Amino acid sequence: MYKLIAIDVDDTLLTDDLIVTDGTRNAMEAAIAAGVTVTLATGRMFASAQKIARQIKLNVPIITYQGALVKTLLDGQVLYERNVPTDAALELHDYCVKHGLHLQLYVDDELYGTEDNDKIRAYSRLSNIPYRIEPDFGKLITKPMNKMLVIDDPDRLDAIALELAPLLGDRMHITKSKAHYLEFMHKEGTKGHALQFMARHLGCTMDQTIAMGDAWNDREMIQAAGLGVAMGNSIEALKEIADYVTFTNNEEGVRHVIEKFVLNADE
């Protein structure tokens, strides 16, 4: 009997039109009615994830910033938080300045960029969240941050990740949520760490958890969960390590998993 379901948001719960289908919503509500905790596990900031959680009437702690922040929806209580180490943040900032990279910071659940460009505008539209411009990141870089993000060409980001791994990898979790998003968190700011925390918080075992996702940033929670599910539209590397591959995000893959493994598990 599964007790906890953690669902990635973009390209997993949401269709390409950025909606949650009625069928998926109904399946989630049925699971909740059966006593299962259903939560989101997203790279999005809390303010962005909160809007989606409210749409589907979730009233639970949600996993945000790739797992660096677990926070309750109603009263905003922080249950789990890991901030980027200041020394690593300073090194990453210097690297980005030296190489002319677009870097975004997340301070007090607000999004910051140094200039108003196409990259931050597109990110803002996708996440449905406003942004602030601070030309001097020196004023922000030592403040507590759940995440730092670089936006660029996918191949360039892959090369950057390889270059930075030996420099920052012992202090930072480096991952990709989309091909053109390279994200940096605390080493324990992963969806896997957050899922394990949520299981302990709820008093269930990891065998009683389901995790669903589509991208490499979902890897840790899919490996940690009792049932790790890759979407039909997932990257191939994730499908290879998943316990089960479901339909795509446009084919109600989340609904299929809930109905198969939770609602109709006894049939």
- Cβ atoms of 147 and 183 closer than 8 Å: yes
Roughly what angle, to the nearest 10 degrees, separates helices 86-99 and 154-168? 140
- Alpha carbons 91 and 142: distance in angstroms, whole number: 11
In 3D space, the residue among 199, 180, 170 whose CA is nearest the CA of residue 85 turns out to be: 170
Could you read off the pLDDT of 112-141 as tens digits, one per residue? 999 999 999 999 999 999 999 999 999 999
Residue spans of alpha helices (H) in 100-218: 118-127, 154-168, 191-202
- Domains of the chain in start order, with CATH, are 4-81+189-263 (3.40.50.1000), 86-186 (3.30.1240.10)
Token pair, residue 111, equals 């999004």
pLDDT of residue 216: 94
Mean pLDDT, range 73-81, rounded to an integer? 91
pLDDT confidence of residue 266: 63
> What does the alpha-carbon distance between residue 241 and residue 146 come to, in Å, rounded to a whole number?
27
Is the C-alpha dihedral spanning 126, 127, 129, 135 positive or negative?
Answer: negative
Q: Please list the active-site residues.
A: 8
What are 19-34's pLDDT values in tens digits? 999 999 999 999 999 9
Mean pLDDT over the full length of the chain: 96
Element (H, E) at 131: strand 131-133
Mean pLDDT of 192-196: 98
What CA–CA distance (Å, rounded) separates 67 from 44?
A: 10
pLDDT confidence bin for 156, thresholds 50/70/90 = very high
- Within 13 Å and on the Cβ side, how many CA atoms surround 19? 6
User: Tell me, what DSSP letter sits at residue 263?
Assistant: I
Position 267 confidence tier, pLDDT thresholds 50, 70, 90: low
Using CA atoms, how far residue 117 sits from 49, 64, 85, 123, 203, in Å, is: 23, 25, 27, 10, 45
Whole-prediction pTM:
0.93
